Amino acid sequence: MKTNMQRRFLFLLGKLLLVAAVLPLYLSGQTTDTRAGLIVFREKGCASCHAVLGEGGVLGPDLTRTASTGNPLELAAAMWGHAPQMWQRMKLEHLELPTFTTEEMENMFAFLAMIRSFDEPGNAVVGQQVFQAKQCATCHSIGGQGGDLGPNLTTVASLRNPVAWVAGMWNHGPGMVRALRERGISFPEFQGTEMVDLQSYIRLQAGAAADEKTYLRPPSTERGESLFRSKQCINCHGIDSGGGTSGPDMSRVVLPRRFGEIATVMWNHEPQMNRLAAAASISYPQLEAQELADILSFLNSLSMRWTGSASAGAKLFESKGCVNCHATTPGQQSPAPNLGKIEQSLTPITVSTIMWNHGPRMLEQMENTSMTWPVLTSRELADMIVYLESLKGRGQRPVRSPSSGGTP
Amino acid sequence: MRLGRREFITLAGGVAGGAALGRVSLRGISRLNEALEPPSALYPGEEQWLRSICSLCSGGCGLKVRTVGGRVIKVDGNPIYPVNRDGICPRGQTLTQLIYHPDRILAPAHRSAIDQPWETSSWDQTLESLASTLRRLRGADQQNRVLMVSGRSRGLTSKLCSHFLSSYGSNHFFELPSGMETSQRALEFMAGIPNDGKAYRMAYDLENSRYILNFGCDLLEGWGTPAHTMRLFGQWRDIKRGRRTTLIHFGPRLSVTAARSDEWVPVEVGTLGAMALGIAFVLISEDLYNRSFVESFSFGFEDWTDRSGQAHMGFRRWVREEYRLSRVSEITGISSETIVRIAREFAAQPGSIAIGPQQSPVQPGRLSDAMAIQALNALVGSIGTRGGVSLIPEFGWPLPVADGNETMRTASLDGLVAVLDQSPEVLILDQAAWFIDSLDDAHLDMLNRIPLIVSTSPVEDATSKLATLLLPDCTSLESWTDGQSPSAYPYDLIALTPPVIPPRGDSRPWGETLLALARMTDPALESVYPWKDMESLYRASANELSRRENGYLFGTQVDEQWQRMLERSGWWNPDWTSEDEFWDGLVNKGGWWDPATWVSEPQHSFQTVSGKFEFFSQRLEALLREKGGIQPGLQPSVEWDRQILPHHADILPDNAPEGFEWTLDPYEPLVFFGGASRQIPFLQQITSPYSGPRGWRSWIEMSAEDAHRMGIEEDETVWVESARSRIQRRVRILEGGKPGIVGAPLGGAPTTGRWARVESTLAEILVPISDPYLGVRSHATTRVKIYKA
């Protein structure tokens, strides 16, 4: 039972955390190894059931094609929620149940976060429809057909990364907007993966010209943050309430998880941004493809952050029935481990590790007492983690976990 | 342990005595190996594991070589070499026997005639004798009287050969056919290749195929890269992948591949095209084909009218009218139910692929059959897609010369024989024992009339037997060795390894011999080939490659997946930042490759006249119009469209002559394909255990039913007689073989060296059949009669 003082403390802490908004998780990006994460993914047998980008098993879903972002909290919540099903299926398939160290889980999460930001090859059939619907052929030619006002698209067919493609469009944006206006053609906005599909169509139409391949180097979140300032993006877009206000605060915007799709969002706002920048006497930023990739990496990393409310977590601890088995007060005995005694810093990754390694025993005990496995949303999991951290008197400290920054 | 020939025979005979024919005593092989080891069985000195590349077939697998005290002890597969990843076939393991073979040629030599003894000489003297002949012919403007036949179809030395011939002025460079030539031509006719001057090759993404219709390819023997195919067989059956790839084998002979397939469909000889069209009939009739692909990206499926107003029959109507199940069943000897079932399974899932026909260097198959098979791939939308087939740019070691002209390579045996008829004066045989295996006595007589035959063989073989000049190459473990994407392999790859041991005796890498020969023939060529040795040439070539901005140095399978995912999403994280780093990485890791070479997007754009996949190839039609139809006399006159559309035509007359009731189907077993391995005891032993004084002998394979009917016992000697001649062979009886079919391996006992055995070649009785479109040999299937000797 909590004392009144404890309740008051938790209430205040919860308020504080909600006001503090987001807490960075994947920003440092120094210690995790995304390639090592792939090794963990393969060696622990995850790849036997789950595919990534179409490669791997088919028993479970392809982890790059599910709806959530690569945010570790969402991954942890999904893992928590589906763990009993996974254990049951693994038992049926006679698969060995692996255990994870925190480092392994962290590397695997970093890998999954990164891989989920990768664009998949587009659909050329859809791309053809986009090409026609957006009237690209009015100005551009491909395969010997189309207009000659803009560049022949065969010349950019070697670009394999949608970010490079958007960078090319971005740099010619003002000219394109003028030309479109003169011809009475509306500015082409793209949805979802349309830009990637369009690129796929261009490649197929270009034939052998697309055999040459031009890639981008893996982007740097740190360089991206620096470019975000030097290219004066910060003058319009704030980060954590710092910076300009004429554009949206990028730490509060929910961006798509794939780089090509983030770049598409940026392209869709090009006319508006151009106008606002001109009004604020900010020169239109020319971006090398690699620079754009770096900036997008920085923006992507912002979506890796999470926060929670200790007071909400405390309520969940009761409503989800955790309190029935786990004590939280030092020295108190309970059927399941006293969670107030956990010394390890709790993050979505450490919680996932503990849950995965000890979960089967927990599930067995719950089944013996006719209890159901508690399913938690990512928000609920965040609240629960902050609450459990608060029990150690460390709840106000930002919960940090080093990771990749969500970039390759 | 060292044995003389007598002791060896006793030993090997003991092996055979303890083992039934077709089986091998491991203890016996072990003793056999000991007999072939170098003089000292104890090797004091440091143990090392080094990397190399196998040169015993064009697959070029990566090797991990154990040496002790500077001697090669053991050869295994290199785990990071992407083609074979740890696996290795029996041939690769015999490299040690090749290196220390007692019949190694360890110094240049010459003789005045083939019945005269060899005299060793210095490299300078021997090369000068060849160079002076080359200079004389050039002075007389007779450069085309020089021809080279090479078993190297890939790699920098092969490029050096063709460029040297081009610089010299000869047009005659023949290389070992891959067997894919006819299939590739079919796909080129139907899917097209860009007219950009680049070379393209046919490749399959078999790793991702889920249902494979194999039209006669000996996947586990002389096809592609054996170790790679064996690895694929393992993957297809790996339960961890969550799905099993099904392999259906069509062919009359009970081959190793047929026996290891999920289902062997023993079609009649020469009916592979009809079977493909029967399956097409079911796909079309039951509406199981890929409508999206066929309707949007193909041409000639429906009836159509050309610009002149001439109506043409579409593939749909052609198949519906001409290849009804009852007819196909009658042609192939396979029930309609089986054809329907297989067709339905083939259409049931993505990743279905049809491969063939045959694709063997000796029997590349017919164009019309190959087009029927590619039509099947189009019907299920497997052209240029995951698990499918595609034509991809040939990528390999660049020869860093200003003038990149090379003498055009020809892989046609018939073309080569035609050149032999033009009184050549110099014939250079480089890894060309395969060529000799393909010749009958009349052809060999033509060779014997050539004044100067040069052999580069490192061991006494069929080429050295014919030669009067020896310029001995060393084995791949004794020199810088390169590798390149083998035929059918879906990724760009180059590999390079330094020598594991120094060249034995006074042998030299053929590449370096060529560089020296070029300089001696024409001092002006010194500026064209400025490299002092092959290492310098590789370095210059690697510098060009280092400028590429894709691909990775070899790594583990984790690296492979990682790199493929990066590249497919548009990212590239290079392993090098300079020429020096690239070179160091290349040599240390053994090679570079691009695991994302294979198309990740289905092919919807084709370099054909219509810009689509053409069931009715307009390029083939134009070619035939130019020729005035298919070659006169080789095919009866048929309606025009029927010549162009994929179709079946008999290869053998319906009525066999009296007594010629068997059909002999020649094939290349794993151990002999490419012809280079006859001298290696281990390989002889695993196919044909040593039969005491009778030595290793060639054989034919008969069904148990036929053998019983004829009263023929296992290992009994019989005559095999065709319309041309007759030869003797011993009999192997195959339980479950198809009656009326006789299998016969090409290659066989050594023709020279200490274990030589005089034996008629199979070529003596074969009656080659030409493709009416391409004018080259498509089959060697021959009607024969068999009777006891």
Distance CA B36, CA B104 (A): 12
Check residues A396 and B672 and name the one with the higher pLDDT. B672
Check residues A7 and A180 and name the one with the higher pLDDT. A180
Interface of B with A (CB under 8 A): 194, 196, 198, 240-243, 292, 296, 393, 549-550, 558-559, 561-562, 564-574, 600-605, 607
- In DSSP terms, A367 is beta-bridged to none
Tokens of B245: 């790839």
Tokens of A300: 């992507």
Helix and strand numbers (H, E) in chain B are: 27, 33
Minimal C-alpha gap between A19 and chain B (Å): 38
Query: Hey, what amino acid is at B762?
Result: L
Q: Sheet containing B71-77: give its strands across.
A: B47-53, B62-68, B71-77
- A215 and B550 within 8 Å at the Cβ level: the answer is yes
> What pLDDT, on the 0 to 100 scale, is given for residue B746?
87
The predicted-structure confidence for B357-393, as pLDDT tens digits, reads as follows 988 888 889 999 999 999 999 999 999 888 999 999 9
- In DSSP terms, B355 is beta-bridged to B214
Distance CA A132, CA A126 (A): 10
Which residue on chain A is closest to B562 by alpha carbon? Answer: A35
> What pLDDT, on the 0 to 100 scale, is given for residue A17?
35
Residue A67 has pLDDT above 50, yes or no: yes
- B-chain residues near A132 (CB < 8 A): none
The model's confidence at residue B2, banded by pLDDT at 50, 70 and 90, is very low
- B573 and A408 within 8 Å at the Cβ level: the answer is yes
Interface of A with B (CB under 8 A): 35, 38-39, 42, 48-49, 52-53, 55, 57-59, 115, 118-122, 124-125, 143, 159-164, 200, 203-205, 207-208, 211, 213-218, 260, 408
β-strand pairing of B409-410 with A55-56:
unpaired
Minimal C-alpha gap between A43 and chain B (Å): 10
Residue B203 has pLDDT above 50, yes or no: yes
- A-chain residues near B552 (CB < 8 A): none
Tokens of B201: 């090759």
Tokens of B750: 């050594």
| Nearest in space to B249 (alpha carbons), one of B134, B359, B324, B167 | B359
Omega before B357 cis (within 30°)? yes
Residue identified by tokens 């050096």 is B160
- A-chain residues near B608 (CB < 8 A): none
- A120 and B569 within 8 Å at the Cβ level: the answer is yes
Least confident of A23-32, A56-65, B656-665: A23-32
Cβ contacts of B32 within 8 Å, gap of 6 or more? B11, B12, B15, B681, B682, B685
Distance CA B358, CA B356 (A): 5
Residue pair A262/A296 in contact by the 8 Å Cβ criterion = yes
Residue B204 has pLDDT above 60, yes or no: yes
> What pLDDT, on the 0 to 100 scale, is given for residue B617?
97
H helices within B534-617, ranges in order? 534-545, 557-568, 579-589
CA atoms within 13 A on the CB side of A9: 13
Which residue on chain B is closest to A36 by alpha carbon? Answer: B558
**Rounded average pLDDT over B466-473:** 97
- A124 and B604 within 8 Å at the Cβ level: the answer is yes
- A115 and B565 within 8 Å at the Cβ level: the answer is yes
Domain residue ranges in chain A: 4-115+306-390, 120-303
The model's confidence at residue B1, banded by pLDDT at 50, 70 and 90, is very low
The predicted-structure confidence for B645-658, as pLDDT tens digits, reads as follows 999 999 887 777 88
The model's confidence at residue B530, banded by pLDDT at 50, 70 and 90, is very high
How many CB atoms are located within 10 Å of the residue A262 CB? 25
Q: Which fold has domain B662-679+699-746+759-788?
A: Barwin-like endoglucanases (2.40.40)
- B572 and A57 within 8 Å at the Cβ level: the answer is no
Residue pair A327/A23 in contact by the 8 Å Cβ criterion = no
Check residues A325 and A144 and name the one with the higher pLDDT. A325
Minimal C-alpha gap between A119 and chain B (Å): 5
CATH number, span B104-178+411-473+510-528: 3.40.50.740
- B605 and A213 within 8 Å at the Cβ level: the answer is no
Minimal C-alpha gap between A174 and chain B (Å): 26
Question: Which of A44, A213, A264, A297 would best serve as a mutation to test chain B binding (most B beta carbons within 10 A)?
Answer: A213
Of B568, B572, B607, the CB nearest to A121: B568
Residue B693 has pLDDT above 80, yes or no: no
- A207 and B607 within 8 Å at the Cβ level: the answer is yes
Residue A373 has pLDDT above 50, yes or no: yes
User: What is the value of ipTM here, to two decimals?
Assistant: 0.87
Check residues B55 and B471 and name the one with the higher pLDDT. B471
Least confident of A193-207, B102-116, B450-464, B501-515: A193-207
The model's confidence at residue A312, banded by pLDDT at 50, 70 and 90, is very high
Number of residues that this document lists for chain B? 789
- A55 and B574 within 8 Å at the Cβ level: the answer is no
> What pLDDT, on the 0 to 100 scale, is given for residue B39?
52
- A-chain residues near B572 (CB < 8 A): 215-217
> To the nearest whole number, what is the mean pLDDT of chain B?
89
| Max CA separation in chain B (angstroms) | 83
- A207 and B600 within 8 Å at the Cβ level: the answer is no
The predicted-structure confidence for A162-197, as pLDDT tens digits, reads as follows 999 999 999 999 999 999 999 888 999 999 999 999
Minimal C-alpha gap between B571 and chain A (Å): 5
The model's confidence at residue B242, banded by pLDDT at 50, 70 and 90, is low
CATH number, span B182-393+614-644: 3.40.228.10
Residue pairs spanning A and B at CB distance below 8 A: 96
∠ CA(A293), CA(A299), CA(A303), 5° rounding?
135
The predicted-structure confidence for A109-128, as pLDDT tens digits, reads as follows 999 999 999 998 888 889 99
Residue B20 has pLDDT above 50, yes or no: no
- B-chain residues near A216 (CB < 8 A): 570-572
The predicted-structure confidence for B577-634, as pLDDT tens digits, reads as follows 999 999 999 999 999 999 988 876 677 778 899 999 999 999 999 998 887 766 554 4
Least confident of A166-170, A205-209, A341-345: A205-209
- B570 and A216 within 8 Å at the Cβ level: the answer is yes
Domain residue ranges in chain B: 104-178+411-473+510-528, 182-393+614-644, 662-679+699-746+759-788
> What pLDDT, on the 0 to 100 scale, is given for residue A124?
85
**Rounded average pLDDT over B70-88:** 94
- B-chain residues near A115 (CB < 8 A): 565
Residue B637 has pLDDT above 70, yes or no: no
**Rounded average pLDDT over A362-373:** 90
The predicted-structure confidence for B409-422, as pLDDT tens digits, reads as follows 787 778 888 898 88
- A218 and B571 within 8 Å at the Cβ level: the answer is yes
Residue identified by tokens 């955790």 is A322
